[in-house]
Amino acid sequence: MYKEWLKVILKSPLFQGMEEEQLNAMLECISARIVKYSKDEFIALAGDDFKEIGLILAGEAMIVKEDAAGNRVIISMLKPGDLFGEMAAFSGKSKWPSSVIAQQSCTVIFISPRAIVGQCEKLCVSHQLLITNMLSIISQKALILNRKVEYLSIRSIRGKIVYYLLEQYKHKGKKTFTLPLNRNELADFLNVPRPSLSREMCRMRDEGLIDFHRSAVKINNVEKLRSLAEL
């Protein structure tokens, strides 16, 4: 049941340090289940009962949050090997705080939080490693949420764009790169109106700061962009 997915699962930080044989035994022990989803299908819906942590095996998904007015904000993008739901799993809350939507056909493996932190009846040697990995993941996610707050604290649309582009430049290591989000998704992520985002990016292009075509972006002057981020 799990064999075809073992290499993908091993890439997840949750199972870091395990061998394939150990992992297969662990998955059997914790009774993990695999579910497939179609594009745009809800993997989890905000407000629904929370029961399991998810791990993307194939495809892509995104975590989104809507406010009372129906405005959508993208919290994060998920690719194979990425976890979701782990922050809610140990928060004492019994509902999904955000929705998870398949961006394309997705395969997900679900794991009960109790299976991770509970007493292992079979005394698996890898169970303690699983708990240690989960603590590390939660700490890293807390840092990512702090990054999201930084974006929300930037008042100007240009400031948000500059901060995001510099972050992508640092991550990619080159001035020309492809954005992981399309224009609508980027607007949701930065929590700005889509037309306003496009207008500001066009102004930045006209000023010679950047060039772009669809999702491809080139930073013409990194130092100038950094100086804008410091304002």
Give the pLDDT of residue 202.
95
CA 209 to CA 159: how far, in whole Å?
A: 13
- Residue type at position 188: D
The full set of domain ranges for the chain reads 3-152, 155-229
Looking at domain 3-152, which of 3.40.50.880, 2.160.20.60, 2.60.120.10, 2.30.30.30 is its CATH number? 2.60.120.10
Backbone angles phi, psi at 53, to 5 degrees: -85, 145
- Can you tell me the distance from the alpha carbon of 183 to that of 138, in angstroms, rounded to the nearest whole number? 29
* Interval 131-156 mean pLDDT: 79
Q: Output 3 or 200, whichever has higher pLDDT.
A: 200
pLDDT band at residue 119 using 50, 70 and 90 as cut-offs: low
pLDDT band at 62 (very low <50, low <70, confident <90, very high): very high
Give me the percent of the chain exceeding a pLDDT of 90: 42
pTM listed for this prediction? 0.64
- CB neighbours of residue 127 within 10 Å: 19
Statement: residue 78 has pLDDT above 90: yes
Residue 92, both tokens = 């004492």
**pLDDT the model gives residue 162:** 93
- Sheet (strand 53-58) strand order: 33-37, 106-111, 53-58, 83-84
| Token pair for 43 | 């993997």
Residues 6+ apart with CB under 8 A from 49: 94, 95, 96
Query: What average pLDDT is seen over the chain?
Result: 86
The answer to whether residue 42 scores a pLDDT higher than 90 is: yes
- For the residues 79-93, what does the mean pLDDT come to? 84
* pLDDT for residue 100 is more than 90: yes
**Tell me: domain 155-229, CATH 3.40.50.300, correct?**
no
pLDDT at 40: 94
Confidence of residue 107 (pLDDT cuts 50, 70, 90): very high
Question: pLDDT at position 189, please?
Answer: 83
Tell me the residue length of the chain: 231
Sheet with 176-178: strands ordered across = 176-178, 216-219, 210-213
Work out the pLDDT band at 124, boundaries 50, 70, 90. Answer: low
The mean pLDDT value for 160-167 works out to 92
